[in-house]
Amino acid sequence: MSVMTDNPRPLQSLGDKAVEVRQLTCRFGDFVAVDGIDLDVPAGSVLGLLGPNGAGKTTTVRVLATLLKPSGGTARVFGHDVVQQSHRVRSLIGLTGQYASVDEELTARENLMIFGRLQGHSRAAARRRGVELLDEFALGEAADRPVRAFSGGMRRRLDLAASLIAEPPLIFLDEPTTGLDPRTRQQMWDTARRLVAAGSTLVLTTQYLEEADQLADNIVVIDRGRIVAQGTADELKSSLAPATLRVVPTDHDDMPVVRQVLHQLTGHEPQTQDNREVAVPVEDTALVTEALILLQDRGVHIEEVGVHKPTLDEVFLSLTGGSSSDTDDSGAAVIEQEVGA
């Protein structure tokens, strides 16, 4: 789905904060989809909203995109309240979701022309902007084919192009690469990077941990409607556990010496794994070089050495338990309250 907009003010006049959310709550009967969250998104950055199915990611985006009225709290986009100033907010945003909003019976060029005209562009301006976007999203050669003949990745790129007709300063990407093959996903990532380089702010919801790791300046992990962690990818990884130094001596008889040296260096009790490897947590990976020097001084030959850092996958599973919430986030749409224009 795409929310189309009028031409916004120049980005530099919009302020430093693209999104500001305070105690945002969304209830549907007894079900709490979003439970008092706070968010701040600096202009020109990428925020990754990460969480399992039903965590509250899409509901949060729908509130920020003025498609859903919150039950409580406040949300502002470039200083404008999403409920009280919804029309102004819509002039500043683009929204691309998991499902294309384009007409499959029309060509890509015709779709973009219609979106441009709906935004008040003249026929010539809509045509010109459409050509720019077709080239930007590598759809020029397919511009005059019916969309029904497009691959899933091509449809997703066209949907994103449609959401950018008005060049909005804030773009919501709601699980934009779900179901795409790795190559097409990488193309979408490259497009997202170009948008940020051009000055756009992105709010990305995703279940793909690599996607958040690749694109997001900051990551917010949501589970059951609540924020359970936030920070950069590196901060989240280090919050789970320190890195682990693993050393495999060439001679098994040197295991006690390796244990002694690593304990002396780190202050942690080393663990023996598979009766051939010594592992110890390290807060500072610079200690690896020092450990190798000390072991060499003791006459220990090393077969393997390495540092294992927690992955974002491990952080995600640790924070959310690796399971989806009972109620799918998208299911809330059945009983949502639309915000008036």
Residues 293 and 153 in one domain: no
Side-chain half-sphere CA neighbours of 164 within 13 A: 25
Residues 232 and 256 in one domain: no
Residues 153 and 84 in one domain: yes
> Is 317 within the bounds of a domain?
no
Identify the DSSP state of 119: T
Q: For position 322, what pLDDT does the model report?
A: 57
User: Comparing C-alpha atoms, which of 113, 118, 105 is closest to residue 133?
Assistant: 113
The residues, ordered by sequence, that sit 6+ positions from 296 with a Cβ below 8 Å of its Cβ are none
> Is 174 within the bounds of a domain?
yes
> Is 327 within the bounds of a domain?
no
CATH number at residue 280: 3.30.70.270
> Is 333 within the bounds of a domain?
no
Q: For position 333, what pLDDT does the model report?
A: 40
Residues 210 and 182 in one domain: yes
Rg (CA), the chain: 25
The residues, ordered by sequence, that sit 6+ positions from 114 with a Cβ below 8 Å of its Cβ are 103, 106
> Is 337 within the bounds of a domain?
no
Residues 84 and 193 in one domain: yes
> Is 45 within the bounds of a domain?
yes
Residues 84 and 202 in one domain: yes
Q: What's the number of domains the chain is made of?
A: 2
Could you give the CA distance from residue 48 to residue 173 in angstroms, rounded to a whole number?
10
Residue at which a domain ends, from 213, 237, 261: 237
Residues 166 and 24 in one domain: yes
Residue at which a domain ends, from 211, 237, 263: 237
Element (H, E) at 26: strand 17-28
* Residue 160: domain span: 17-237
Tell me the pLDDT of the chain (341 aa) as tens digits: 344 344 444 444 566 899 999 999 999 999 999 999 999 999 999 999 998 888 999 999 999 999 999 999 999 999 999 999 999 999 999 888 765 578 999 999 999 999 999 888 899 999 999 999 999 888 999 999 999 999 888 888 898 888 888 888 999 998 888 777 888 888 888 888 988 998 999 999 987 878 888 899 999 999 999 999 899 988 887 776 678 889 999 998 999 999 999 999 888 899 888 888 999 888 777 788 899 999 999 999 999 998 877 776 777 777 776 554 444 454 444 334 444 44
Supply φ then ψ for residue 32, to 5 degrees.
-100, 105
> Is 9 within the bounds of a domain?
no
Q: For position 284, what pLDDT does the model report?
A: 76
Residues 73 and 89 in one domain: yes
CATH number at residue 121: 3.40.50.300
Residues 248 and 228 in one domain: no
Residues 255 and 230 in one domain: no
Residue at which a domain ends, from 237, 267, 287: 237
Residues 274 and 149 in one domain: no
> Is 328 within the bounds of a domain?
no
CA 338 to the chain's CA centroid: 25
Residues 253 and 232 in one domain: no
